[in-house]
Structure 1
Amino acid sequence: MNSMVLVYMLWAIFGLFLKNHAYKREMFYRRNEHHQNMLPENADVNLIGFSNASLAECSKHCLLGGANCLGVFHNKETQSCKLLYDNLVEGLVFQTRTDWNFFSVNPCQIGWTYYKENCYYLNQTGTTWESARSQCLTSSSHLAEIESIEENSWILGTLAPAQCFDSWVECVFWIGGNDLDNEGSFVWSSDNTALDFDNWSPVEPNSYTDYDDCIVVIYPGGAWADFGCTAKVPFLCKKAQSSL
């Protein structure tokens, strides 16, 4: 068989493979309810666009982008789309744009990560525990309440502080546990209920100072420690996907 013919045949098979997988992946894409009739400002600069493209074709392009492609903004009327990649998420500002909708596997709003009916957001900006609690409330969430070793392990494997290898302090993040009201009796900040699950380090909680009243998760092992609440470290917000 002529080598050029073989190359064309292989490309044709590869094309059919991509098309088939794009359509399969599209079945898992759903219109994200958080971003209907919306498009980021300066979308032509921040997103990778295609014209004369159906949602299925845009899904194919997203498939080629791998896991870094978070989803597709698609305009059914103009048959055009813009692909969102994870390195473009920070600082997005949305504007109303009729007929543009966002399709994604992840049902959470852009920037949040889905796991077992909940959405999570790790804010990399260091702040105090009280400030972190307030910022989570502003986004209709609360400081994360970790309820099982499986959830703790998922967080470790999925959401890691960006500066973890630059500073030990930045290798921890706030969650909602605290004993601010009653020393030694840790509760969750959202409703003051006692912890049903914990993952304390062997030497924790130790109340090393009088201000060690707030819980952090430590990388890379995922153990918990009581920490001075005025320290400025990253924090993890969590909210139920059904409440969005």
Structure 2
Amino acid sequence: MQTLFVWVLFLLIHIVISETGSMLKQGYSRIIYGHRLDGKTISSFAPISFLDCVEECLVRNRCQSVSYFKGANYCEIKYKDKLTAASSYQELAGWVYSEKGHWPQELAGPCSQSNCSLNEKCQFTKYSNNGDPFNCVVSDCGLPVVNERIESYTKEGDAIGINRAMHVKCSKQHVQLGSGKLVCLSNGSWVYDITCCDEGWKEYRNHCYFRNNTKLNQIDATNACRLLGAYLVEIDDAEENIWINKTLLKDVSCRYLYSCTTWTGANDTQTEGEFVWGNSGAKVNYTNWSPGNPHDDSPYTLIKDCVDLFYNGTWNDRSCHYQAAFICERQHKRYFNPLPREKRDNSIIGP
């Protein structure tokens, strides 16, 4: 009985090896020499054998093909193939091109049975939390989303894999601040260095600002900003206040200080003396009141529940019905699913 079991096991192993070997021959026979799929890269590896390159593709659901440079044993795994990215398929000496479907999934070992997500890589392991002989780990950030403000473009070496980078640029009629570089973090999120402001808007700490000279009451000014996807300015600290004064109020002047003010989003309409920002609802922590302000405590004055700016950057409380210019502020939209970043963090994240 034991002898029979050994023979059956031998035959099964022989069949698997024979079938895999036969499929390997089919895979090698379908390699296209002198061709490469340009761009569309998940990640790249060197030095690495061609068959190991294929295996790196097989353990990723997103991978569709590989391009391999024989002279340097350099591997690129791709999220497209020559059918889905025909314009990127090119003749190039020294390269070979092969597709994932041309190779037996058995080359992936236990990972051939994995249920990893599209942006994950299957890794063989002797131990795992669920008892499977493999783990699924994040492999890439997927493709960044673009729309009317952002256009993608490819630089040499761009890839969507972990610790790799992509590049984007602002579309026409938008002013670009930053390098346009996106970096893929280990948790599968993009972080980036780009701000796209509309023409006429000014950028400060990843926000866009615009001073509108049309005189409106604070409620109408709030609605006017909302139509632009923005809100009445919220000033967080002295540095922002100084920047607004030097940048947005530098050309504002008048003989009478009170006649050319500019609305902010601050008000104390709910509780007298407790100022909050109209858009976020956050308490106003930083203030730059002009001498004698706020002074909505006299029985002889109008109710002054809103806050505007004098042209010297100091603050004034004012009746919300007063007609004044206004500043709209807009946080530049986060198109690429990045990690949350504080408004005041203007650093470039990534290598």
User: Fold-level match, TM-score > 0.5?
Assistant: yes
Q: Which bracket does the TM-score occupy, shorter chain normalised?
A: 0.5 to 0.7
CA distance in 1, matches of 2:260, 2:240: 18
Call closer, same or farther: CA 1:109–1:131 in 2, change over 3 Å.
same
CA distance in 2, matches of 1:101, 1:191: 30
CA distance in 1, matches of 2:252, 2:317: 21
RMSD over aligned Cα atoms: 2.6
1:154 to 209, 231, 243: 243
Q: Which amino acid aligns with 2:303?
A: Y
1:224 to 305, 315, 323: 315
Q: Does 2:211 correspond to 1:122?
A: yes
Cα drift, residue 104 of structure 1: 4.0
User: Structure 2 length normalisation: TM-score?
Assistant: 0.39
Q: Which amino acid aligns with 1:125?
A: T
CA distance in 1, matches of 2:199, 2:328: 14
1:234 matched residue in structure 2? 325
1:211 matched residue in structure 2? 303
- Check the 8 A contact 2:231/2:330 in 1, yes or no: yes
1:34 to 149, 153, 177: 149
Q: After superposition, what is the alpha-carbon deviation per residue over 1:111-162, rounded to whole angstroms, capped at 9, x for unaligned?
A: 2111110000100011101100111111111110000111000011111275
2:192 matched residue in structure 1? none
CA distance in 2, matches of 1:218, 1:139: 24
CA distance in 1, matches of 2:232, 2:200: 16
- Check the 8 A contact 2:175/2:199 in 1, yes or no: no
Call closer, same or farther: CA 1:227–1:111 in 2, change over 3 Å.
same
Larger Rg: 2
Cα drift, residue 35 of structure 1: 8.2
Compare the two structures and name the one with the higher helix fraction. Answer: 1
- Check the 8 A contact 1:124/1:162 in 2, yes or no: no
SS of 2:210's partner is strand
Q: Which moved more, 1:152-161 or 1:171-180?
A: 152-161
Q: Which amino acid aligns with 1:138?
A: L
Task: Give the length in aligned residue pairs.
Answer: 150
- Check the 8 A contact 1:177/1:188 in 2, yes or no: yes
2:267 to 152, 163, 178: 178
Q: Which amino acid aligns with 1:234?
A: A
- Check the 8 A contact 2:176/2:197 in 1, yes or no: no
Cα drift, residue 105 of structure 1: 4.0
- Check the 8 A contact 1:213/1:226 in 2, yes or no: yes
CA distance in 2, matches of 1:163, 1:135: 21
Q: After superposition, what is the alpha-carbon deviation per residue over 1:14-56, rounded to whole angstroms, capped at 9, x for unaligned?
A: xxxxxxxxxxxxxxxxxx95387xxxxxxxxxxxxxxxxxxxx
1:190 matched residue in structure 2? 279
CA distance in 2, matches of 1:159, 1:231: 20
Identity over aligned pairs, percent = 32
CA distance in 2, matches of 1:102, 1:223: 33
Q: Which amino acid aligns with 2:328?
A: C
SS of 2:203's partner is strand
- Check the 8 A contact 1:35/1:109 in 2, yes or no: no
1:8 matched residue in structure 2? none
- Check the 8 A contact 1:35/1:102 in 2, yes or no: no
Q: Which amino acid aligns with 1:202?
A: P
User: Structure 1 length normalisation: TM-score?
Assistant: 0.55
CA distance in 1, matches of 2:172, 2:208: 20
2:234 matched residue in structure 1? 145
Gaps of 5+ in 2: 1-146, 152-170, 178-195, 336-351
Structure with bigger RCO (C-alpha 8 Å, 6+ apart): 1
SS of 1:236's partner is strand
